Amino acid sequence: MRFVKVTLIICCFVLACYNQRSYGANTTAKATVVVVDENGTSIEGAKAGFAFEKNKTVGVGVNVELVEGFTDGNGRYSATNGNDNNLLTYGVEKEGYYYTTGKIIFTNISLQGWEPWNPELNVVLRKIENPVPMYAKNIGQFNKLEIPELDKEVGFDLISSDWVAPYGTGKYSDFIFIFTTVRLIAE
């Protein structure tokens, strides 16, 4: 009888572990970002956040729980939370630097939680220097543009969305195009 009880307990434990591995139920993840600049100097006061995923109890999908904080004097911020899936995304921002994101995919579940437990995720924040403005245009308007000349360099200005003079109102050649024709010879 004692052997049956021990076997039953072991089977229940194995099934519980299998259930956690299959569905991510009651799992915990911990990770640490280590934030430095391009010279390797620690950045204090950077806002860091982790997006922990919780499976919906009804329906399909996940709810995301964001855990945020600021890096310490060593550029470190750690977070621990329940995470039902093996994916953990993170982001770091600080004024004067570009926003940086990343992700880690956990490989296994142990009794402690997702493995590797508390990985150090190195994040390099790059300073914003000489930013270049970016422009978005509706590409439908480019259908109206006619090719101004063949076999000759023609500049195109992205800000004015037009060819550079003498073919249009553009002032700066962001792109240089050379349009050529191909003759097909039928045999």
Q: Of 67-71, 99-103, 137-141, 159-163, which range is least confident?
A: 137-141
The CB density around residue 168, as the number of other CB atoms within 10 Å, is 18
134 assigned to some structural domain: no
pLDDT > 90 fraction of the chain, expressed in percent and rounded: 55
Q: Is the peptide bond before 133 cis (omega within 30 degrees of 0)?
A: no
Say yes or no: 33 and 119 in one domain. Answer: yes
Q: How high is the pLDDT of residue 66?
A: 95
54 assigned to some structural domain: yes
Between CA 146 and CA 134 the distance in angstroms is 24
Say yes or no: 39 and 117 in one domain. Answer: yes
Say yes or no: 102 and 159 in one domain. Answer: no
Say yes or no: 116 and 62 in one domain. Answer: yes
Say yes or no: 54 and 106 in one domain. Answer: yes
Say yes or no: 81 and 120 in one domain. Answer: yes
Tokens encoding 123: 């994040």
What is the spatial order of strands in the sheet that 76-82 belongs to? Answer: 76-82, 28-36, 120-124
**Which structural domain range is residue 149 located in?**
139-178
Say yes or no: 73 and 106 in one domain. Answer: yes
Between CA 175 and CA 4 the distance in angstroms is 78
pLDDT > 70 fraction of the chain, expressed in percent and rounded: 78
Q: Which amino acid is at 61?
A: G
- Rounded to the nearest integer, the mean pLDDT of the chain is 83
pLDDT tens for 79-134 read 999 999 899 999 999 999 999 999 999 999 988 899 999 999 999 999 999 887 77
pLDDT band at 2; cut points 50, 70, 90: low
Q: How high is the pLDDT of residue 138?
A: 67
Cβ atoms of residues 102 and 89 within 8 Å = yes
Cβ atoms of residues 113 and 30 within 8 Å = yes
Q: How high is the pLDDT of residue 123?
A: 97
Cβ atoms of residues 53 and 82 within 8 Å = no
15 assigned to some structural domain: no
Q: How many domains does the chain have?
A: 2
The length of the chain is 187
Cβ-based neighbours of 180, under 8 Å, separated by 6 or more:
150, 151
Highest mean pLDDT among 54-58, 88-92, 126-130, 158-162: 88-92
Statement: residue 25 has pLDDT above 60: no
The CB density around residue 52, as the number of other CB atoms within 10 Å, is 23
Statement: residue 15 has pLDDT above 50: no
Alpha-carbon distance values, 80 to 49, 77, 106, 112, 114 (Å): 11, 11, 14, 12, 11
